[in-house]
Structure 1
Amino acid sequence: MRSLIQRPFARSHRDGTPFARPFANLGVLALLVGLVFTVTAVPTAYAGLGFGNRQAVGGVMIDPEGNVRAATEAEQKEMAEKVRAAINQPGGELGEATESRVISLARLQDALKEMHETGRELDDETAFLAGLQRVEYVVVDKENHDILLVGPAEPWEVRADGSVVGTKSGGSVLRLDDLVTAFRSVEEARRDGGILCSIEPTAEGRQRLQGFLKNIVLRPGQNPAFLEAGMRQAFGPQMIKLAGVPTQSRFARTLVAADFEMKRIAMALTPSPVKGLPSYLDIARNKRQSATQSPRWWMACNYDAIARDPAGQVWKISGQGVKTLTEEDIVAADGTVVSDGRQDPLAVKWANAMTEKYDSLSKEMPIFRDLRNAMDFAVVATLITQEQLDRSSGIDLGVLRGSDSLIELPSFDLPRSLSPQCSFIHGMAGWTVTASGGVNINAFGVVENQVERPELQSLVSVQQDNGSDRWWWNGN
């Protein structure tokens, strides 16, 4: 990793093709949703791969009324066809995997300014941040008034469901629009106590369900499955709550989609694609249940202590990124819930299994890698802001932070509710309903947990670039 931020000397691929290749079909796809650059009043460039108001993120659809549901196979196929038509196959250095790709935030902003000034459409290498898979290092480059993001990168391809993933790891690529959202959400997240998403039943729905269950008497050996349709109808829609991030951003949709899919796996509403990760219903079946308790799961940050050199010039971010936690909701007679921190051992077992299998699950269902990418960017943006790395490097991050109005983020349909996504277990003590979930990104807590590593100083090595202004290159 020495000479990590060595400057590039060329502005074209090895095969001579230029780096900036605009999306071929963006001009005619008026409903393409992504990152918007505005010249006067005309939107001219987009980064992001959503089509129409019923945008699919990770196989999850959100309609104009804000209702959330799983995308059908036909919808996923249609999405994949549109995405493949909209992006180019990466070539040259972008067509090769590397353990160390360096992104200059100063030069990235310059490139975005140039696109804004010339009206040039955003190319896919910028939209996908040169194939970056993860940010492992944040480097302060005082000599060039810059901040560098460093991590592994791969060429990308489109999966059958429309997800854009690395060809080597199968993991979702990092995206410029999520980086911009993360930078713009730091203060909102500070005010709201983090970036939060939850999918919650209503108190009225819980009350109706309790009334429904009071009138149910099962005969010995009777299968309760025939009751579930009526129970779901009584339960009613579940409400989506978001905080700390713009609710109409792709970032927010990623949180909702990941939460939605976690619930579906836990409750056996969709088959788990990973061996060793059964549903919670499989784990809890025929075990003693409590009629007044309901397990809740949520995904949270799972990082090692952030390492830094003594001068605060090199910062290393490591760890799996995401873990699953659980506690019990206690349901009162009026349908409201409280939590006292108690954990059901079976729910803990499922949460631990999901944490252990998270990387494998992310390859099978890219929405979970999208969630980790969002968490990574939240940590990066919070680190730069909290530690004032922009001030110490002398870089003005106005383009990414939005203070200069060059970048206009799109307005997605606001996710509001979903039809009942819940499962019911009839145990020896009554019915247990599993319905609640969420995401909690406490990037401030991650950034506060630091450790000093003097050996990171060896990564700081800047070489003159002979006039090249390319915004990414491969380190050594």
Structure 2
Amino acid sequence: MLKLIRAGIVASILALSIHASFSQSAFGQEDSQSKTALDKVQSFSRVGEFTRAFEEIANVQDAAMRDQGHSAIARMQMKAGLIHAAVETASYIENDVNRSEVLSEASAVRSKAPVARGGGVTPDFDQLIDLITTTVEPESWEELGGPGSIAPFPTGVYVDSEGTLKRVKQLSNDSLLSEIHDSSKIITTDQNVSTQSVLRKVSLTRLEKEAQLRWALGRDPTDTMRNLAGIYEVKYLLVYPETGEIVIAGPAGPWHANAEGRHVNVSTGRPVLQLDDMVVLLRNAMEEHGKFGCAITPTQSGLKSAQEYIDVTSAKPLHPRQRDQWLEGLRAAVGKQNITVHGVSPDTRVGQIIVEADYHMKRIGMGLEDGTAGVPSYLEMVTIPPGGSPPPMDVLRWWFTLDYRNISVTKERDAFALQGPGVKVLSENEHLDAQGQRIHTNASTALNATFARNFSTNYAALAVKYPIYAELKNVFDLAMICSLIENERLADQVDWSLTHFGSKGSYQVATGSPPTVVDTIMNMRVIDKKHIIAGVSGGVSFDPSDMLTDDQLTVDEYGLMTADHKASGVPKTIKHHGWWWD
């Protein structure tokens, strides 16, 4: 039985190799001949003659008929227990909806596959390969741009359809099934993800297909997929209706995990774009019109307790040595601040990034973290003129929002570029009533507005010192790109159904424990024996609707975007499973 399984696997590999050699043939036959060829494909598939079925595919001219043929072959391979071969065959189905149906069937069949008992062992090369490539110098393998390759090789023979034992002479070098590559191959610049690139391109449509193929086999996306081939800044969103591609392009290069565990570019230290973030934001654009955000706010009861604490303790002068104890008592009176996230799930990476960035910004504002040159804390900027009084015990509100000047676009609306810093901080002073209720003023004092302006002006420098702000910028850029895809109906233009990345897709993003509360962010400063107390609330608010109007789309008159669009199309030399290029 084991020999038959091994023989079946190798026979499938050979069939795929033959299929690859015929797939490039010119289709010049009449429709009737295509129909006859399709009938033969289905007939050969039913009796397990997969090699001959692949040969007949070359005679099918119509794309829809070819999809039928590949679907028929894949489903019969599933019945024969050749799940890997079926998934590889499905990769040639051009219609993503049809392909998704077949892959879903393959995934279901794989999950129900019986476990061998009684001494019979089914070889599991995938787990062995995954173990080797993730533990033995992971960056040396071809998947991360290294020279090493690895492949399953159950036996050196196969059994043909007539039962004859033969030696394997040729194997596919571009097969998801075997992932076999020539170990002596020279890695070119376009094939090495570790190479620095001024403008790397990632096809979202091709990436979705490759991620879904791996999903059907029970595999997670590769590290290269998760890190979007190392792109660390979005420069363009490009559309190619003639080839069915939606592409993001930007500078890229090798990455590693920094001390905080963030995946950052080796040279620049900037965080690289994340596939999970893009999927979350694509779904948000489809379901929530691109709106999302978070808030970190004190409770009403906590603010009331704080005011009562201040009233009670302000009867006596505060000795400098009592400052820390008094401030800790004030924090305890306020209690924890609530964290809420809307538009995206709080347990996703996007949800956690916006909360972390907001929390960190407020700590800088309160002097609990150092800023950069040009960004002193709010308390550092407070001055009290002779005979004057300190600022009132208002709640300072600071929040992040988007800051794009416009969106450059080609006349054909097939290339888009975001213009502007992307992120800024806004401010407001909120009054408190006797019950601790926050009263919005829709106004900001000069001092409060100055901190927000300083933070916004020096955002790039802050993002270098604290990568969390670069992460937030990446999230904002991806959110704008995803909103453009939805608002401009770009997926419809390229016949992309988002069967895996979309709202109802099977792609599962990684999740973690969502934060719900945080220690109160407040601080105190003493000037001329007068206490300046500051507390802060706010959050993140992203709403792209104002940026998606025709008024905000500026046509590129210089032709630079058109030239880059033309030069960035899918290269003719790209492999069947390729999804990025330089």
Does TM, scored on the shorter chain, surpass 0.5? yes
Q: Which moved more, 1:279-288 or 1:151-160?
A: 279-288
What's the offset of the Cα at 1:430?
6.7
Is 1:127 the counterpart of 2:226 in the alignment? yes
In structure 1, how many angstroms separate the alpha carbons of the residues matched to 2:279 and 2:450?
Answer: 36
The one-character-per-residue Cα deviations of 1:291-342 (angstroms, maximum 9, x if unpaired) are 3422211111111200111221111113211111111111111111122221
Q: State the secondary structure of the residue aligned to 2:294.
A: strand
Question: 2:516 is matched by which residue type in structure 1?
Answer: R
Kept in 2, the 8 Å contact 1:291–1:430? The answer is no
Aligned counterpart, 2:553 = 450
Aligned counterpart, 2:381 = 283
The equivalent position to 1:424 in structure 2, one of 519, 524, 527, is: 524
Kept in 2, the 8 Å contact 1:285–1:425? The answer is no
Q: CA RMSD in A?
A: 2.8
TM-score, normalised relative to structure 2: 0.63
Question: 1:465 is matched by which residue type in structure 2?
Answer: K
Question: How has the CA–CA distance of structure 1 residues 127 and 342 changed in structure 2, closer, same or farther, with 3 Å as cutoff?
Answer: same
Kept in 1, the 8 Å contact 2:276–2:510? The answer is no
What's the offset of the Cα at 1:416?
0.8
Aligned counterpart, 1:465 = 572
Question: How has the CA–CA distance of structure 1 residues 393 and 345 changed in structure 2, closer, same or farther, with 3 Å as cutoff?
Answer: same
Aligned counterpart, 2:433 = 332
In structure 1, how many angstroms separate the alpha carbons of the residues matched to 2:308 and 2:572?
Answer: 72
In structure 1, how many angstroms separate the alpha carbons of the residues matched to 2:217 and 2:418?
Answer: 36
Q: State the secondary structure of the residue aligned to 1:413.
A: coil
What's the offset of the Cα at 1:395?
2.2
Kept in 1, the 8 Å contact 2:276–2:509? The answer is yes
Alignment of 1:65-464 (within 5 A): 88=139, 90-91=144-145, 93-190=192-289, 194-217=291-314, 222-223=319-320, 224-272=323-371, 274-284=372-382, 286=384, 288-405=389-506, 407-425=507-525, 431-448=532-549, 449-454=552-557, 455=559, 456-461=561-566, 462=569
In structure 2, how many angstroms separate the alpha carbons of the residues matched to 1:397 and 1:293?
Answer: 48
Higher relative contact order (CA 8 A, sep 6+): 1
Question: 1:468 is matched by which residue type in structure 2?
Answer: K
Question: How has the CA–CA distance of structure 1 residues 463 and 199 changed in structure 2, closer, same or farther, with 3 Å as cutoff?
Answer: closer
What's the offset of the Cα at 1:264?
1.1
What's the offset of the Cα at 1:408?
1.7
Q: Which has the higher strand share?
A: 1
TM-score, normalised relative to structure 1: 0.77
Q: State the secondary structure of the residue aligned to 1:377.
A: helix
Question: How has the CA–CA distance of structure 1 residues 463 and 390 changed in structure 2, closer, same or farther, with 3 Å as cutoff?
Answer: closer
What's the offset of the Cα at 1:161?
2.1
Kept in 1, the 8 Å contact 2:379–2:534? The answer is no
In structure 2, how many angstroms separate the alpha carbons of the residues matched to 1:131 and 1:198?
Answer: 31
Aligned counterpart, 2:131 = none
Question: 1:306 is matched by which residue type in structure 2?
Answer: I
Question: How has the CA–CA distance of structure 1 residues 467 and 453 changed in structure 2, closer, same or farther, with 3 Å as cutoff?
Answer: closer
What's the offset of the Cα at 1:220?
6.1
Q: State the secondary structure of the residue aligned to 1:148.
A: strand
Kept in 2, the 8 Å contact 1:289–1:426? The answer is no
In structure 1, how many angstroms separate the alpha carbons of the residues matched to 2:482 and 2:137?
Answer: 29
In structure 2, how many angstroms separate the alpha carbons of the residues matched to 1:86 and 1:206?
Answer: 54
Question: How has the CA–CA distance of structure 1 residues 39 and 353 changed in structure 2, closer, same or farther, with 3 Å as cutoff?
Answer: farther
The one-character-per-residue Cα deviations of 1:250-284 (angstroms, maximum 9, x if unpaired) are 11011111111111111122233x23322222112
The one-character-per-residue Cα deviations of 1:103-153 (angstroms, maximum 9, x if unpaired) are 111110111122112333422111100011111111110111111111111
Question: How has the CA–CA distance of structure 1 residues 168 and 284 changed in structure 2, closer, same or farther, with 3 Å as cutoff?
Answer: same
Question: How has the CA–CA distance of structure 1 residues 203 and 188 changed in structure 2, closer, same or farther, with 3 Å as cutoff?
Answer: farther
Question: 1:328 is matched by which residue type in structure 2?
Answer: N
What's the offset of the Cα at 1:194?
2.2
Question: How has the CA–CA distance of structure 1 residues 266 and 467 changed in structure 2, closer, same or farther, with 3 Å as cutoff?
Answer: closer
In structure 1, how many angstroms separate the alpha carbons of the residues matched to 2:414 and 2:477?
Answer: 19
Percent sequence identity is 26
In structure 1, how many angstroms separate the alpha carbons of the residues matched to 2:223 and 2:137?
Answer: 9
The one-character-per-residue Cα deviations of 1:7-34 (angstroms, maximum 9, x if unpaired) are xxxxxxxxxxxxxxxxxxxxxxxxxxxx
Question: How has the CA–CA distance of structure 1 residues 41 and 196 changed in structure 2, closer, same or farther, with 3 Å as cutoff?
Answer: farther
Larger-gyration structure (1/2) = 2
Aligned length: 395
The one-character-per-residue Cα deviations of 1:173-221 (angstroms, maximum 9, x if unpaired) are 100000000011124433xx82111100000000000011111236668
Kept in 2, the 8 Å contact 1:159–1:165? The answer is yes
Question: 2:482 is matched by which residue type in structure 1?
Answer: A
Q: State the secondary structure of the residue aligned to 1:291.
A: coil
Q: Which moved more, 1:284-293 or 1:294-303?
A: 284-293
In structure 2, how many angstroms separate the alpha carbons of the residues matched to 1:324 and 1:41?
Answer: 51
In structure 2, how many angstroms separate the alpha carbons of the residues matched to 1:241 and 1:427?
Answer: 35
Q: Which has the higher helix share?
A: 2
